[in-house]
Structure 1
Amino acid sequence: MEIVQGLKYSENHHWVKVEGKQAIIGLTDFAQEEFGMIVFIELPESGETITAGEPFGSMESVKTVTELYAPVSGRIVSTNTKLGENPGVINMSPYGHGWLMTIELSEPSELDKLWDAEKYEETYGHE
């Protein structure tokens, strides 16, 4: 399982990369391993807002269908449209080409509630 240093992590297996007032959000390597091959993903449209802890979309894998919960709040700047054609990119490159969306943070203080790489690895790295 790969855990990238310098990112923030949620208990719901999302990573957050902060770039100024924006954040890129994706699914962790642990999540894609647990879910198996991802065959469908539904993400919000650009311009919509998401709220930390609330569902923002869903994902279907060969094993299950699951809701995706926002790690932070903000307005969607862009979504990874390539995932519509090939959601399996998340499995191949969860921290690279498999990113989900970019948001403009509305509550930057929420980042303080997320975990660093060490805490995420402590919690999920030894399962």
Structure 2
Amino acid sequence: MNIPDGLKYTKDHEWIKIEGNKAIVGITDFAQSELGDIVYVDITTVGQELSEQDVFGTVEAVKTVSDLYMPVAGKVLEVNPILDGSPEKVNEDPYGEGWMVKVELKGAPENLLSAAEYKSLIGK
């Protein structure tokens, strides 16, 4: 199970990479493995201001649809254009080409987990 140290995590299995006042968000390797083969990513929140824990989109796997939760308060700046034609990138490379959104942060992030805390949460 890949859980990079340089990222922060949520209890809902999103990861976030904070770079100044912007961040990149995706779902964890654990989340994509639990979902199975991802066939569609639906994110229509570009330009919207969202609060922490707001749903910013959904991910559809062969057997289920799962909400995506915003790990921080902020404005959705961009959706990963690769996912439109290649949603499987989330399975193949969840921390790289499978990222989901870029966000402009509003305030300091709270309630994020370190890699060690996330590993403990998922029992790894």
- Shared topology, TM-score over 0.5? yes
Gaps of 5+ in 1: none
Identity %, equivalent residues:
41
- For 2:69, give the aligned amino acid: Y
Structure 1 residue 112, shift from structure 2 partner: 3.2
Matched residues in 2 for 1:33 and 1:41: separation? 15
- 1:107 and 2:99 are equivalent in the alignment: no
Q: What is the CA distance between 1:30 and its match in structure 2?
A: 0.1
Q: Do structure 1's residue 18 and structure 2's residue 18 form an aligned pair?
A: yes
Aligned position for 2:82: 82
Higher helix share: 1
Q: Any runs of at least 4 consecutive aligned residues in structure 1 with deviations exceeding 6 A, and if so which?
A: none
For 2:46 and 2:110, the matched residues in 1 are separated by 25
Normalising by structure 2, what TM-score? Answer: 0.95
1:92 equivalenced with 2:92 (yes/no): yes
* Deviation of 1:25 (Å): 0.3
* Correspondence for 2:67: 67
- What is the distance in 1 between the residues matched to 2:2 and 2:94? 9
Q: How far is the alpha carbon of 1:67 from its aligned partner?
A: 1.2
**Residue of structure 1 equivalent to 2:120:** 122
Taking only aligned residues, the RMSD between alpha carbons, in angstroms, comes to 1.1
Q: CA deviation at 1:22?
A: 0.3
| Paired residues of 2:72 and 2:110 also in contact (CA < 8 A) | no
| TM-score of the aligned structures, taking structure 1 as reference length | 0.92
Deviation at 1:125, TM superposition (A): 3.7
Contact 2:11 2:121 in 1 (8 A): no
In the TM superposition, what whole-angstrom CA distance separates every residue of 1:58-90 from its partner, at most 9, and x where no partner exists? 111012111111111111111101101111100
Work out whether residues 50 and 73 of structure 2, in 8 Å CA contact, stay in contact via their aligned partners in 1. Answer: yes
Q: Which shows bigger deviation, 62-71 or 10-19?
A: 62-71
